[in-house]
Structure 1
Amino acid sequence: MLGPVRAPDGPSPAGPADPLPIPGDLPDPGARPVSSGLLPGALSLRLALRARPVSAARRLLLAAVSAATGYLLLACLGDAADGPWQSHGALVRLAWCLVPLAVVALLAVAVGRAEVSGGTAAGLATAGFGPARLPQLAAAQVAQAGLLGSAAALVTFVYQREQATDPATLPYAGLATLLLAVPLVTAAACLVALRPRRTWAGTRLTAAVTGVVALAAGVLLVHLAGVPAHGGWRLPGGLGRIAPATFTGWALALLGTLLAAPGLLALTGLLLSVFRPGARRLLAGRALRGDAGRLGPPVGLLASTAVAAWSAHVMRQHATRPAGHLTLLAAAVVVAGALACLAAAADDARRARATTTRLLTTLGAGPGLLRSTAYLRTAVLLAVCGPLTAVVAWLAVPGVGR
């Protein structure tokens, strides 16, 4: 038998060897400490300086929409400070600014998800940013874009105030609060929407059923509210007045559209890929089902924007005065935010399907098949969402106040 092997006397020429770590004792990449140079704020700034053109365009678009929303908030503060008789109208306009603020929050979630998904997430995991830390990085990125937009809004607002004759002094606390509103709301939306959560098979079905119920309840409430002869809430842009019950019905209908859209896309993909599907129908149906979580909320937001635009168009026929520049700016923010949110989600879905696309190309799928599959997926999406949006828009008009 061999005797025990004795270690050589003296140090090894290569130096003392470190003990090998036990695999079970390796730290979790998502939980290990990150150096100060890789904190979410510092890393997001590095990623912004070295961003790809598409990523830089997304952030600049978010900054532009944030700047417009911040300007709307500051304009309401300026109207309230110019005179006591304008305070009530400024508070009403400030309340209506919650609509573009919500759109900016949804856009921030879409941009944040697109920035930290795909290959970026795999690369960040090696640097210590696991699934639990990715929402923090996304929140830091959108907060930086929001701060850039708030700075641009402040410069524009101060310049216009200096051109006015004898403007009132603005309270610094209110000015700082409104300037920080957009970055804080967008960062909080990313932290909440992108946090890791456990899902089960019926989550999307439950959300879809809840959305359909909320949509039906909202439309019913709009019809039962009627037209207020006097009182009610004044709409911006000379659109007349609206009953509180009608506004509640609108809010329920828009919330139901947002909740039901992912389930609707998943159901459409399921129906498209049944009954002996060919290659195109099978690929398009599975792509719709896989992209339902990404494309559902932006599609619902765009449908809600279309419903609101049709309602505003009908109400403009009975308007008592032309729409002001702030109303047009708010409408532009909502429309641009909805379109940008859908574009960011579509780009994220395309990059998520990149691995599948390369595999299909390796297996012999030609560019024509992939192109026709994309056309079929888009056509089915428009054919399903278009008529449903038109029906909801037609049902939402009768209860509008004049």
Structure 2
Amino acid sequence: MLALRLTRAARPAVQLRRLLVATATAGTGFLLLSCLGYALAHPGSAHAATLRLVWCAVPLAATVYLALAVARTDPATRPRPGLSAAGLGPAQLMAVSALTTAVSCTLGSLLALLAFLHLRGDLTGLPFDGVAAGFLAAGRPFPFPAALTLLTLVPVTASVTVALSLRPRDPRPAARGPRRFGRFGAYGEVRGRETFGAYGRFGARLGRKAADGSTTATAPGTDGSGTGPEASGEPGAELPAPDPAPAPDSAWPDGTPQPPQGSPAGLPWGITLVTAGLTVHAYAPRQDLAVLGGWLLIATGLVLAAPGLTHLCGLLLQCTRPGALRLLSGRVLMSEATRIGRPLGVVCAVLSAGYAMTSLYAGSAAAFGPLATLGALLVTGCTIATLLTAAVETRQCRADTTAALLRLGAPPSMLRVAAALRAAALLTLFGPLTLAVAALAALPVGR
């Protein structure tokens, strides 16, 4: 009930993003049902029906990725002190976010089922003069249990992915090593070698850190050795200062950990996977499974390499004595390399695959049918919408920094020009990369 209330009370922009998730789910569900209809209409072509179902994994992954991006930008499921006081902690908000995603995806699956049944003629007769009756198995008994099983793939996969991605995490840093013991069994980190009798000296144990990170002090005269200040031999000794407790890592306003400040470590592995995928395209036969496997390698490599390339783009913006505008743009790209780079890698993979597949199926090969066109439009739209949603998430995470710059006197036009400069720099780097990957993937076909 709470998830429904939060869904209904959201802003129009949030409702639009949820509507995009429902639309993408409807398209993916229709493709899955079309595979079922093809299997019913061609019972002797089990291999072709299985291959069509395997190809549906691409729009399914794109839809789930869009649902995850929309769930991360949902302001209704962000941790707030008021909700925590009412008993809605991070775990409950994660469950609400997963349930909201399930509601959006279920709505899309129901729309796909209604559209499929309408085109089959099960509701009001065959529309469009029965044009779609061939690949929808019109006139044959329709197995509703199998259809419902296929339609539950997107809601279940999206909800589980959102729950795993938004699960509560401990913001405190992990322990750096095993516990070490000092003199006389005292636990804690020993910074220096203690001399004989130092344990019972007055004030020697003040400021020691306990196991939970807090400092403990021992009263004078009860320091554990049975001796007071007169027995120490140094009544005027200076008390050691307590050790400062390490500050926890800073976090984003939504509670997620801040990305590392160094360069992302996936660039070499990404280049390796892209090279392996291009090799598969160059030497493997022109079969659907080989093409799909090669593009999976290329897409995975681009997703892994894109954060490192985004970080490199931020570094290039700041080279050769940068001003305030270039410095601000480059720093934002470096800090948001992982958040922006992964959707950029997916977009590059999809655009490269679209160009290469167009070249692959040109000429004597079969032309694109309506279902193939629907799948291509669905994957392209989901990836572009995911990239725009990631930009919205980045803007939400930098809201405090933007407000601080405005309070310091930075003009709003400067922030807009910095955003345009970041977009131009990313387009300059990733545009030729997309064209190069597409040309290399289509090169064996044009030889």
Q: Same fold (TM over 0.5)?
A: yes
Q: Residues 214 and 113 of structure 1: is their aligned pair in 2 closer, same or farther, counting only changes over 3 Å?
A: same
Q: Which residue number corresponds to residue 177 of structure 1?
A: 149
In the alignment, structure 1 residue 210 sits paired with structure 2 residue 269? yes
Q: Which residue number corresponds to residue 417 of structure 2?
A: 372
State the distance in 2 between where 1:344 and 1:252 align: 25
1:285-339 CA distance string (max 9 Å, x none) = 1211232232222111111111011112212422433321111111110111011
Aligned length: 346
Shift of 1:58: 0.0
Q: Which amino acid aligns with 2:104?
A: A
Q: Residues 295 and 245 of structure 1: is their aligned pair in 2 closer, same or farther, counting only changes over 3 Å?
A: same
Q: Which residue number corresponds to residue 195 of structure 1?
A: 167
Q: 1:285 aligns with which of 310, 330, 345?
A: 330
Q: 1:151 aligns with which of 85, 88, 110?
A: 110
State the distance in 2 between where 1:308 and 1:179 align: 26
CA contact (8 A) 1:262 1:295 kept: yes
In the alignment, structure 1 residue 138 sits paired with structure 2 residue 101? no
State the distance in 2 between where 1:137 and 1:279 align: 42
Unaligned runs of 5+ in 2: 171-256
State the distance in 2 between where 1:289 and 1:204 align: 8
Q: 1:80 aligns with which of 33, 39, 42?
A: 39
Higher relative contact order (Cα pairs below 8 Å, separated by 6+ residues): 1
1:154-179 CA distance string (max 9 Å, x none) = 11111111226762112232111111
Q: Which amino acid aligns with 1:205?
A: P
CA contact (8 A) 2:261 2:335 kept: no
Q: Which of the pair has more CA radius of gyration?
A: 2
Q: Which amino acid aligns with 1:71?
A: F
In the alignment, structure 1 residue 69 sits paired with structure 2 residue 7? no
| More helix as a share of residues | 1
Q: Residues 312 and 221 of structure 1: is their aligned pair in 2 closer, same or farther, counting only changes over 3 Å?
A: closer
State the distance in 1 between where 2:41 and 2:35 align: 10
Q: 1:221 aligns with which of 258, 273, 280?
A: 280
In the alignment, structure 1 residue 322 sits paired with structure 2 residue 370? no
State the distance in 2 between where 1:278 and 1:382 align: 21
Superposition TM-score, scaled by structure 1 size: 0.79
Q: Residues 288 and 201 of structure 1: is their aligned pair in 2 closer, same or farther, counting only changes over 3 Å?
A: closer
Instruction: Please tell me the root mean square deviation across aligned C-alpha atoms, in Å.
Output: 2.5
Q: Which residue number corresponds to residue 385 of structure 2?
A: 340
State the distance in 1 between where 2:38 and 2:331 align: 52
State the distance in 1 between where 2:96 and 2:273 align: 33
Alignment of 1:341-360 (within 5 A): 341-360=386-405
Partner SS for 1:205: coil
Q: 1:104 aligns with which of 63, 74, 93?
A: 63
Q: Which residue number corresponds to residue 79 of structure 2?
A: 121
Shift of 1:70: 0.3
State the distance in 1 between where 2:144 and 2:290 align: 36
Q: Residues 351 and 72 of structure 1: is their aligned pair in 2 closer, same or farther, counting only changes over 3 Å?
A: same
Q: Which residue number corresponds to residue 250 of structure 1?
A: 295
Q: Which amino acid aligns with 1:280?
A: L
1:97-116 CA distance string (max 9 Å, x none) = 11100100111111111115
Q: Which residue number corresponds to residue 316 of structure 2?
A: 271
Shift of 1:196: 4.7
Unaligned runs of 5+ in 1: 1-41, 234-243
CA contact (8 A) 1:114 1:348 kept: yes
State the distance in 2 between where 1:318 and 1:49 align: 50
State the distance in 1 between where 2:18 and 2:119 align: 26
Q: Which amino acid aligns with 2:150?
A: L
Q: Residues 175 and 204 of structure 1: is their aligned pair in 2 closer, same or farther, counting only changes over 3 Å?
A: farther
Q: Residues 121 and 289 of structure 1: is their aligned pair in 2 closer, same or farther, counting only changes over 3 Å?
A: farther
Q: Which residue number corresponds to residue 262 of structure 1?
A: 307
Shift of 1:54: 0.5
Shift of 1:95: 1.1
Shift of 1:392: 1.1
Q: Residues 196 and 295 of structure 1: is their aligned pair in 2 closer, same or farther, counting only changes over 3 Å?
A: farther
* % identical equivalent positions: 40
Superposition TM-score, scaled by structure 2 size: 0.72
CA contact (8 A) 2:271 2:302 kept: yes
CA contact (8 A) 1:82 1:167 kept: no
Q: Which amino acid aligns with 1:60?
A: L
Q: Residues 53 and 116 of structure 1: is their aligned pair in 2 closer, same or farther, counting only changes over 3 Å?
A: closer
Q: Which residue number corresponds to residue 312 of structure 1?
A: 357
CA contact (8 A) 1:79 1:87 kept: no
CA contact (8 A) 1:142 1:187 kept: yes
Shift of 1:401: 10
Alignment of 1:4-83 (within 5 A): 42-83=1-42
Q: 1:383 aligns with which of 406, 409, 428?
A: 428
Q: Which residue number corresponds to residue 34 of structure 1?
A: none
Shift of 1:366: 0.8
CA contact (8 A) 1:73 1:94 kept: yes
State the distance in 2 between where 1:57 and 1:97 align: 25
Shift of 1:400: 5.1
CA contact (8 A) 1:273 1:281 kept: yes
Shift of 1:352: 1.7
State the distance in 1 between where 2:269 and 2:87 align: 38
Shift of 1:214: 1.4
Alignment of 1:157-172 (within 5 A): 157-162=116-121, 163=126, 167-172=139-144
